[in-house]
């Protein structure tokens, strides 16, 4: 079945890249370039960048529901529209013009909404998955045509989980499109517990060190590779990129002491409500990411004995819009 593709951030680009060996889309639709980074320079979306590199027909539109956008999709010869993290609601006129199916990065009805991968990791989920759904006007509530489940380990983060789910999603949507073309695709209504995966905010980046080390670690990995968790110590605004949770052990004085820091032996340990967190990679504001041992050589003397959350950090908003989700049909 000939398909057009709509997506915006990295997850959408990964799905599209994995679909290309199966069949190229008749048209790629993405959102226009937006200001990004400290210089606020207009930056093309990951999907637009891939489309140009692959010499695919590209439509960048602020409104996929505009009659001109719908006309362009229909004129491309597409019989279906595959959506993966696009970031705009699809309205009835578009939904009624051709088959619209969504690659959603959760096991629906769990984690409907903008940030399913991140919310699953924050919750410490040991399994998650991807669903192919027929799109309806209601948010992520359409019937399911295919699903795949993956296991999530403690070393996994939003980047590794997203990459795996994009591949499994591309494989699943290709099977669904083939079955639709044969006329034998079956759709099943969603059943089970429903919850909402809200878009990440600045508050989601703050680490609550009164929680257990495992809970804090889960939040750190949910925010990697972006936008990053934040802490403050010694006047430094720190992004925390990689960690490992540790239980209370002999000789580890900071365990069960929230926010207390130990840098002995070139290791950076931060006490939590239960256990402690070993910080493996971090970044001072305006500086490059560093392994903890290198960071301590340059900044160790500036750290206070007690760390706090990142509330008020100067760059606390940076990167929050990278998913361009806004809790709509186009999200993962």
Q: Would you give the distance in Å from CA 247 to the centre of its chain?
A: 28
What CA–CA distance (Å, rounded) separates 238 from 217?
15
Mean pLDDT, rounded, for 304-332: 46
Is the confidence at residue 23, as pLDDT, over 60? yes
Tell me whether strands 290-291 and 308-309 are parallel, antiparallel or unpaired.
Answer: unpaired
Q: Which domains does the chain have, with CATH numbers?
A: 3-197 (3.40.50.170), 207-309 (3.10.25.10)
- Say if residue 321's pLDDT is above 50: no
Give me the residues paired with residue 73 across strands.
none
Distance between CA atoms of 27 and 303, rounded to whole angstroms?
A: 52
At residue 122's C-alpha, the angle toward residues 167 and 232, to 5°, is 120
Cβ pair 254, 276 in contact under 8 A = yes
> pTM for the whole thing?
0.90
- Residues 144-148: what's their mean pLDDT? 98
Q: What is the pLDDT of residues 41-85, one digit of tens each?
A: 889 999 999 999 999 999 999 999 999 999 999 999 999 999 999
3-state secondary structure 274-321: ECEEEEEEEEECCCCCEEHHHHHHHHHHHCCCECEECCCCCCCCCCCC
pLDDT tens digits for range 210-257: 999 999 999 999 999 999 999 998 788 999 999 999 987 666 889 999
Q: What whole-number distance in Å separates Cα of residue 210 and Cα of residue 25?
A: 49
Q: 286: alpha, beta or left, given left = phi > 0 and alpha = psi -120 to 50?
A: left
Q: What does the alpha-carbon distance between residue 327 and residue 198 come to, in Å, rounded to a whole number?
A: 7
Q: How confident is the model at residue 34 (pLDDT cuts 50, 70, 90)?
A: confident
pLDDT on residue 36: 76
ω into 225 cis (within 30 of 0): yes
> Are 25 and 3 a contacting pair, CB within 8 Å?
yes
CA triplet 115, 4, 86: central angle to 5 degrees?
20
């Amino acid at each position: 079945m000939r398909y057009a593709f709509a997506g915006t951030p990295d997850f959408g680009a990964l799905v599209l890249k994995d679909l290309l060996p199966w069949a190229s889309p008749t048209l790629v639709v993405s959102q226009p370039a937006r200001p990004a980074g400290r210089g606020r320079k207009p930056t093309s979306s990951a999907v637009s960048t891939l489309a140009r590199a692959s010499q695919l027909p590209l439509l960048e539109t602020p409104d996929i529901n505009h009659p001109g956008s719908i006309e362009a999709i229909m004129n491309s010869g597409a019989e279906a529209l595959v959506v993966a993290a696009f970031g705009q609601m699809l309205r009835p006129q578009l939904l009624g013009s051709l088959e619209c199916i969504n690659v959603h990065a959760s096991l629906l009805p769990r984690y409907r909404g903008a940030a399913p991968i991140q919310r699953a990791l924050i919750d410490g989920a040991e399994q998650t998955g991807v669903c192919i759904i027929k799109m309806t006007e209601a948010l992520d509530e359409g019937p399911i045509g295919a699903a795949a489940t993956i296991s999530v380990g403690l070393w996994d983060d939003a980047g590794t989980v997203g990459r795996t789910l994009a591949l499994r999603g591309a494989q699943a949507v290709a099977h669904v499109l083939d079955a639709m073309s044969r006329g034998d695709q079956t759709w099943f209504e969603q059943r089970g517990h429903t919850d909402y995966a809200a878009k990440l905010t600045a508050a989601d980046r703050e680490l609550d060190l009164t929680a257990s080390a495992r809970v804090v670690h889960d939040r750190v990995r949910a925010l990697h590779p972006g936008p990053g968790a934040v802490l403050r110590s010694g006047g430094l605004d720190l992004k925390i990129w990689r960690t490992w949770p540790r239980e209370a052990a002999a000789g580890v004085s900071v365990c069960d002491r929230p926010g207390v820091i130990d840098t002995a032996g070139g290791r950076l340990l931060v006490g939590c409500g239960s256990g402690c967190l070993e910080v493996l990679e971090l970044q001072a504001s305006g500086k490059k990411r560093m392994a903890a041992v290198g960071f301590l050589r340059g900044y160790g003397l500036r750290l206070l004995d007690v760390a706090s959350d990142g509330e008020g950090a100067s760059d606390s908003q940076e990167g929050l819009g990278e998913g361009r989700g806004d809790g709509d049909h186009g999200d993962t």
